[in-house]
């Protein structure tokens, strides 16, 4: 846990971007048998409620719908990842710098988060070839955090600003979850992924000179013996999704204890949290989080709206939620939270 209340770097801007192709849940349901030839018709019919009860109406994809009806290998998927990921973080970061009235030459460090593809040189180096950053700009790529990456990556960016108050940090996150789809994988986890995953990116500018939402503290907890709860397996045709069926139950039974420990370490109580900014992994997880936060059912409105309109974009999703909350001019103490591979709970508090 990190407590840095004596210095207060702030969020100068936060922007988001999505690719061009819109996938409605109705269209995905109509195409399910074409998308999933590895699932027999009876099994697919039994799994249809996963789509209908997902709380999702539309998502965005960097490839057109017909792409999912064909087989694709790891090389092609990763090539699409690199091209589209850099396009999206360029769009988001240029807009973020414009909104913060910061020139690219004023950025001292770029922190990037992504887990849905591999690129070396990393995303920030790719971005530097398109945007006029200084050539001595520092780079910090972060990989493998999955859905927890939005909160942890933003926390790491704020921590860099705390350690070096004169620095201006650009934080970028991008996830192209749709490219991990494996049409011949008939597992329930893969079917759930086709019902949830979307693509998107976000960018934020942080320094100690602004008057936006300020960083208070951050922390995380990784449960023991939980490596198989969430993550990727590397397969011949790309990244295979690992989803434990126990994630909603773990959230309901274990998350509250970890949350209370984090709050106690930061001398806070639940009653002092004004806004809960949660990664919406799915409707069952949101229901469990509302129980943990002692909220009424359906109270996590912004998280549910983002899930409805964009799906689960892994690390990026919580940043969409935060943007919505800030756009509504909500004030007070915000608790950001997410759950990701490890199995890890990530927390951060902001004052707006």
Q: DSSP string covering 228-264, please? A: TSEEEEEETTEEEEEE-TTHHHHHHHHHHHHHHHHHH
Q: Report pLDDT for 238.
A: 86
Q: Residue 316 in contact with residue 201, Cβ under 8 Å?
A: yes
Q: 147, 177, 184, 278: which is the annotated catalytic residue?
A: 147
Residue 184 pLDDT: 78
CA distance 180 to 167: 36
Active site residue 147: yes
In the numeric block, the tokens 């059912």 are attached to 297
Q: Which of 29, 19, 95, 98 has the alpha carbon at shortest distance from 64?
A: 19
Which tokens hold the place of 302? 């912004």
Question: What is the reported pLDDT for 1?
Answer: 56
Residue (of 343, 56, 42, 75) closest to 192 by Cα position: 56
In this structure, the number of other CB atoms found within 10 A of the CB of residue 265 comes to 14
Whole-angstrom distance, CA of residue 47 vs CA of residue 314: 22
Assess contact for 30 and 22: CB atoms under 8 A. no
Task: Residue 201: count other Cβ atoms within 10 Å of its Cβ.
Answer: 30
The closest alpha carbon to 200, from 317, 305, 110, belongs to 317
Low-confidence stretches of the chain (pLDDT beneath 70): 1-7, 38
Over residues 314-346, the pLDDT tens digits come to: 999 999 999 999 998 778 999 999 999 989 999
- The pLDDT of residue 131 is 96
Which residues on adjacent β-strands are paired with residue 192? Answer: none
CB 216 within 8 A of CB 333: yes
- 44-87 pLDDT, tens digit per residue, is 777 788 888 888 999 999 999 999 988 899 999 999 999 999 99
Q: How many CB atoms lie within 10 A of CB 216?
A: 20
* DSSP structural state of residue 126: H
Q: What are phi and psi of 152, to 5 degrees?
A: -70, -40
Burial of 222 (0-12, 13-18, 19+ CB in 10 A): middle
Tokens of residue 35, six digits: 């998308």
**How is residue 122 written in tokens?**
């990393």
- φ and ψ at residue 269, rounded to 5 degrees: -130, 165
Structural domains of the chain, ranges and CATH numbers in brackets: 10-207 (3.40.47.10), 213-351 (3.40.47.10)
- What pLDDT sits at residue 5? 47
């Amino acid at each position: 846990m990190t407590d840095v209340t004596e210095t207060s770097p702030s969020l100068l801007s936060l922007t988001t971007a999505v690719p061009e192709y819109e996938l409605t849940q109705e269209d995905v349901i109509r195409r399910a048998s074409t998308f999933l030839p590895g699932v027999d018709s009876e099994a697919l019919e039994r799994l249809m409620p996963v789509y209908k009860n997902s709380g999702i109406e539309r998502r965005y994809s960097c490839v057109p719908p017909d792409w999912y009806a064909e087989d694709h290998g790891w090389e092609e998927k990763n090539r699409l990842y690199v091209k589209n990921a850099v396009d999206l973080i360029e769009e988001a970061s240029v807009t973020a710098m414009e909104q913060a009235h910061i020139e690219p030459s004023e950025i001292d460090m770029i922190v990037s988060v992504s887990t849905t593809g591999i690129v070396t040189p990393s995303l920030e180096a790719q971005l530097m070839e398109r945007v006029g950053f200084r050539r001595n700009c520092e780079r910090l790529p972060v990989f493998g955090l999955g859905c927890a990456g939005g909160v942890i990556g933003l926390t790491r960016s704020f921590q860099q600003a705390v350690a070096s108050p004169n620095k201006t940090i650009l934080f970028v996150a991008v996830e192209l979850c749709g490219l991990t789809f494996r049409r011949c994988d008939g597992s329930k986890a893969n079917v759930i992924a086709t019902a949830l995953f979307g693509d998107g990116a976000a960018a934020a500018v942080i320094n100690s000179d602004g008057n936006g939402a300020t960083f208070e503290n951050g922390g995380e907890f990784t449960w023991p013996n939980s490596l198989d709860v969430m993550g990727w397996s590397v397969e011949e045709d790309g990244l295979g999704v690992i989803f434990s069926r126990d994630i909603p139950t773990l959230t309901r039974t274990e998350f509250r204890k970890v949350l209370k420990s984090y709050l106690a370490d930061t001398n806070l109580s639940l009653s002092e949290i004004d806004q809960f900014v949660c990664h919406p992994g799915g409707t069952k997880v949101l229901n469990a989080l509302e129980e943990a936060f002692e909220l009424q059912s359906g109270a996590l409105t912004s998280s549910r709206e983002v899930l409805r309109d964009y799906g689960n974009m892994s690390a990026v999703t919580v940043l969409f939620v935060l943007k919505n909350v800030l756009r509504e001019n909500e004030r007070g103490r915000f608790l950001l939270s997410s759950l990701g591979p490890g199995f890890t709970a990530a927390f951060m508090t902001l004052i707006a």
